Amino acid sequence: MLGILADQPLDAATSAAGGYAATKAKKTSTLTMAEVKAKITELKKEAVQGGPISLKEVKLLQSKLANFAESDEVKNLLESMLKDLDQRDEVITSALRDTLAELTEHKAKLVDYEKQVVDLSNAADSAAMKASQEDLARQDLNGKKINAAETYKDEHAEYNVVAPPADRSIYVLKVIMAKINEFCTHGTISTAESR
C-alpha cells in the first residue's frame, strides 16, 4: 500500500498484491472504473460466445480489476486519513503555539506580580520598622516625661520640707539687716534703748 501511495517502482510483492505503478513517461489511460468494468463485461460476453479470450482469463481479469479497485479505495482511504492527520497536526500545532504564547504572557504577569509582592513586602517591612522607631522614640519621650514628673515631685516635696524654715530664716535675716542698716544710718542707739 505504501508503494502505491508513494508511486514507488513496482516490485514482485506489490504486483502480486494487485498494485501498480504510475509511469511518468507513459500517458496513463483516463478510463474510469465503470468504463473498465463495461469493457470486461463485453469480453465476458465474447468469451461465452467462444471468442479469442477464455472465460477463465476474463475471471482472472475481473479478479485483478477488483484488486486494483481495492487498492485505489485503500489508497483514497489512506490519503484521506493522512489529510485528516495533517489537519489535526495543524490544529494541534496552532493550539500549542497559542498555548505557548499564553504561557509566556502568564509567566510575564507572574514575574510582574512577584515584583509587586516583593515591593509591597518591602513597603510593609519599612512601615513596620518606622512604626517601631516611632514607638521607641515615644517610649523615650514618655520616660523623660516620667523622669521630669518624678524630679518635680521630689524637688517640690523637698521644697515643702526646706522652704518654710528657710523662709523664716530669710525673714529673720532681713529684719536683722534692716536693723543694722537703720543703726548705721541714724547713729548709735542709746544704751537704754538697746537694753
Which residues touch 36 (CB under 8 Å, ≥6 apart)? 65
Please report whether residue 130 resides in a domain.
no
CA-derived radius of gyration, the chain = 63
**Residue 14 is placed in which grid cell?**
506489490
Residue 29's alpha-carbon distances to 22, 23, 32, 35, 161, in angstroms, are 11, 11, 9, 11, 140
Please report whether residue 128 resides in a domain.
no
Range(s) of the domain holding residue 70? 2-20+29-97
Residue whose entry in the numeric block shows the C-alpha cell 514482485: 12
pLDDT on residue 27:
46
pLDDT on residue 165:
81
pLDDT on residue 104:
95
Please report whether residue 158 resides in a domain.
no
Q: How many whole angstroms separate alpha carbon 138 and alpha carbon 130?
A: 12
pLDDT on residue 127:
92
Please report whether residue 140 resides in a domain.
no
Q: Under a CB-based contact definition with an 8 Å cutoff, are residues 48 and 55 in contact? A: yes
Task: Provide the residue-wise pLDDT of the chain in tens; the chain has 195 residues.
Answer: 344 444 555 667 666 666 555 444 344 455 566 777 777 787 777 777 777 777 777 777 777 666 665 666 666 777 887 888 889 899 999 999 999 999 999 999 999 999 999 999 999 999 999 999 998 888 888 777 778 888 888 888 887 877 788 788 888 889 999 989 888 988 655 544 554
Q: State how many domains the chain has.
A: 1
Please report whether residue 79 resides in a domain.
yes
pLDDT on residue 71:
62
* Alpha helix stretches (DSSP H) within the chain: 2-5, 12-16, 33-48, 55-186, 191-194
Q: How many whole angstroms separate alpha carbon 57 and alpha carbon 46?
A: 12
Please report whether residue 55 resides in a domain.
yes
Which residues touch 93 (CB under 8 Å, ≥6 apart)? none
Please report whether residue 157 resides in a domain.
no
Please report whether residue 178 resides in a domain.
no
For helices 55-186 and 33-48, the axis angle rounded to 10 degrees is: 160
